[in-house]
């Protein structure tokens, strides 16, 4: 294993970033005060917490499910991020009580899984393909690392280190070990987090093993199925590309299979490559990244084209009304983007990260923090079969497979970790978020303050606070959608041509206390068109302003949204609607549509219907389904 790390940036820890006011402050507050308590109550009502007591007996109702531990783990992780910035004794006591239940459930050999301890104790590690033992272990590790970082409490961390040691004894290439790997990836990135938190290199080695063993022949999933006495036809979803085991990961070049599993794996691969400097693994990450972003990515930053297998399909296949685009998959893509960003300090990763966050991720939770999307469609008719299971008003309070609600809760709570990174004598600003960050550059403490209404407004003001003058580069991301950015330092304009580095304006100077930077990122309303190979979007455009994608809703535009035609020459404008969700820019313009009332019982008739003028009103996509249920459309017919 190469020992020289490949990453050039290190994220500023979430504990050192305060998100205050602006666009994100209220959302983090809602997440903390509404979503976290609600999800705890759901875990209680659905007996997920009760299952940790291990009192269930065969024949009883409410049998624990094999991935319930992961839901609880993500809630703990979300709580940890919240506690790091908002100490809350009640929340901490709740977490500590759950930690005690987990610790009490750990077996003498370190094993920790509620389902297999209670329901199927003789089936441990016998079905990695279809069950979720290693997946649950990974989420518990992430929770342990986050809670330790937030509070300094080691109890959960120690429990998960024991579990990780058990897993390391069980799996590997040595005699007597299982040559297995997870059917649902996640533990790979979690083990790297555990390594970074503890400094124990054996956890990095285990992550590397799981990455490298995947896809080798003979296929482990076949061998374990045979050991269970199953015929080949009974192996169900063990098709190899579904869980990215069709080839060794170093020779994979396309994103395949279940989109959540895939993007968790790619994030783990990037983590291992970052820590080991493995050029072959990094090359595979780059190839897969290009495939996703150039051929398999929705305009909303979402991934996964089919709900049949919740998976990637093939290049340029991006259906709208039957999209998958699961909230968890979109979050996992952000993880992958963020990790690649630390390795290469290239804004193309941050651009995708931002696109996903403001659209495909944020759409996964209602504005009031009480309802959630599992999949995030780009076109909706409320009576279409694909949508029926998401009534009322689209989002649901909870799901039987409840991976998405706690996932988005932990992501929003951890948003501060995605804003800044520190490099060699440089501070990178990836996202424009009101608040502040405390960093150390070359041994000197520096505080950066941001004031901005982004993404609704185009101006960002940053102020440097430092006790003594400090020389470093402040690298500001110029988003790919922005073509007329400008920067001023203490009122004087900075020429960007000479300081642009991979999409960042790197302003290197000796900074003094109170220095002020003004960044302007003009946000005209733009029409976006898709590659001609994307058959579903030919002849259509999406509307975007800054990083935010817009959509039409029935509540604003009436029914039959697909009959609306936006003239190529029609002017589009954005204005702030203070009555909408406390103040949101809406996009308006003139369009055409046919008059449905003129169709007196006809299903078809000779072409030539007259069109009448119409006015469209588009709202940010992530805010759809926060009012009345109805149709929704992202891609609008143009002509």
Work out whether the CA dihedral 374, 378, 382, 386 comes out positive or negative. Answer: negative
Tell me the C-alpha distance between 381 and 636, whole Å. Answer: 15
Beta-carbon count within 10 A of 512 CB: 13
Which regions of 111-209 does DSSP assign to beta strands (E)?
none
Q: End-to-end CA distance of the chain, in Å?
A: 57
Strands 611-620 and 17-19: unpaired
Q: Report whether 306 contacts 322 (CB < 8 A).
A: yes
What are φ and ψ of residue 587, in 5° steps? -110, 130
Instruction: Give the catalytic positions in this structure.
Output: 310, 403
Q: Report whether 202 contacts 168 (CB < 8 A).
A: yes
Beta-carbon count within 10 A of 462 CB: 22
Which regions of 442-570 does DSSP assign to beta strands (E)?
444-452, 459-465, 470-477, 486-489, 492-494, 500-501, 504-511, 516-520, 525-528, 540-545, 548-553, 565-566
Tokens representing 212 are 């490298």
Give the residue among 416, 418, 417, 403 at the shortest CA–CA distance from 75. 403
Tell me the C-alpha distance between 243 and 605, whole Å. Answer: 48
């Amino acid at each position: 294993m190469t020992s020289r790390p490949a990453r050039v940036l290190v994220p500023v820890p979430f504990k050192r970033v305060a998100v205050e006011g602006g666009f994100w402050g209220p959302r983090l507050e809602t997440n903390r005060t509404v979503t976290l308590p609600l999800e705890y109550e759901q875990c209680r009502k659905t007996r997920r917490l009760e299952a940790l007591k291990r009192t269930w007996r065969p024949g009883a109702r409410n049998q624990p499910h094999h991935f319930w531990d992961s839901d609880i783990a993500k809630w703990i992780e979300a709580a940890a991020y919240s506690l790091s910035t908002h100490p809350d004794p009640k929340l901490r006591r709740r977490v500590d009580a759950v930690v005690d239940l987990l610790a009490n459930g750990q077996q003498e050999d370190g094993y920790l899984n509620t389902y297999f301890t209670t329901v199927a104790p003789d089936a441990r590690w016998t079905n990695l393909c279809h069950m979720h033992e290693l997946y649950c272990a990974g989420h518990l590790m992430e929770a342990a690392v986050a809670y330790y970082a937030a509070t300094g409490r080691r109890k959960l961390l120690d429990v998960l280190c024991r579990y990780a040691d058990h897993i390391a004894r069980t799996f590997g290439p040595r005699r007597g070990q299982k040559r297995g790997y997870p059917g649902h990836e996640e533990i790979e990135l979690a083990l790297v987090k555990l390594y970074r938190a503890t400094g124990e290199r054996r956890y990095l080695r285990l992550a590397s093993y799981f990455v490298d063993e995947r896809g080798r022949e003979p296929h482990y999933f076949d061998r374990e199925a045979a050991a269970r006495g199953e015929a080949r036809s009974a192996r169900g979803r063990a098709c190899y590309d579904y869980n990215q085991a069709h080839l060794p990961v170093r020779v994979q070049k396309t994103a395949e299979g279940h989109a959540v599993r895939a993007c968790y794996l790619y994030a783990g691969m990037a983590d291992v490559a970052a820590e080991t400097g493995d050029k072959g693994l990094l090359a595979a990450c780059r190839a897969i990244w290009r495939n996703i972003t150039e051929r398999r990515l929705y305009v909303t930053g979402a991934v996964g084209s089919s709900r049949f297998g919740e998976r990637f399909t093939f290049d340029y296949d991006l259906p709208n009304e039957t999209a998958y685009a699961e909230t968890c998959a979109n979050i996992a893509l952000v993880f992958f983007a963020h990790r690649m960003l630390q390795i290469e300090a290239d804004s193309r990763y941050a651009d995708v990260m931002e696109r996903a966050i403001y659209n495909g991720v944020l759409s996964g939770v209602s504005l009031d923090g009480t309802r959630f999307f599992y999949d995030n469609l780009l076109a909706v008719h409320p009576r279409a079969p694909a949508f029926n299971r998401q009534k009322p008003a689209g989002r649901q309070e909870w799901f039987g497979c409840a991976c998405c609600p706690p996932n988005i809760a932990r992501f929003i709570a951890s948003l501060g970790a995605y804003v800044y990174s520190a490099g060699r004598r440089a501070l990178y600003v990836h996202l424009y978020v009101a608040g502040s960050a405390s960093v150390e550059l070359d041994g000197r403490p520096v505080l950066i303050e941001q004031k901005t209404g982004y993404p609704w407004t185009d101006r960002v003001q940053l102020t440097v606070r430092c006790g003594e003058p400090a020389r470093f580069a402040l690298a500001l991301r110029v988003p790919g959608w922005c073509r007329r950015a400008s920067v001023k330092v203490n009122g004087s304009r900075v020429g960007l041509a000479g300081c642009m580095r991979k999409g960042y304006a790197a302003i290197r100077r000796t900074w003094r206390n109170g220095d002020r930077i003004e960044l302007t990122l003009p946000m005209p309303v733009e029409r976006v068109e898709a590659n001609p190979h994307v058959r579903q979007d030919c002849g259509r455009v999406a509307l975007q302003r800054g990083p935010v994608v817009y959509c039409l809703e029935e509540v604003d535009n009436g029914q039959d949204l697909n009959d609306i035609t936006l003239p190529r020459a029609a002017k589009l404008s954005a204005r702030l609607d203070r009555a909408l969700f406390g103040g949101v820019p809406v996009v308006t313009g003139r369009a055409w549509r046919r008059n449905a009332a003129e169709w007196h019982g006809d299903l078809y008739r000779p072409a030539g219907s007259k069109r009448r003028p119409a006015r469209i009103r588009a709202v940010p996509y992530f805010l759809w389904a926060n009012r009345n249920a109805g149709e929704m459309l992202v891609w609008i017919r143009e002509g």
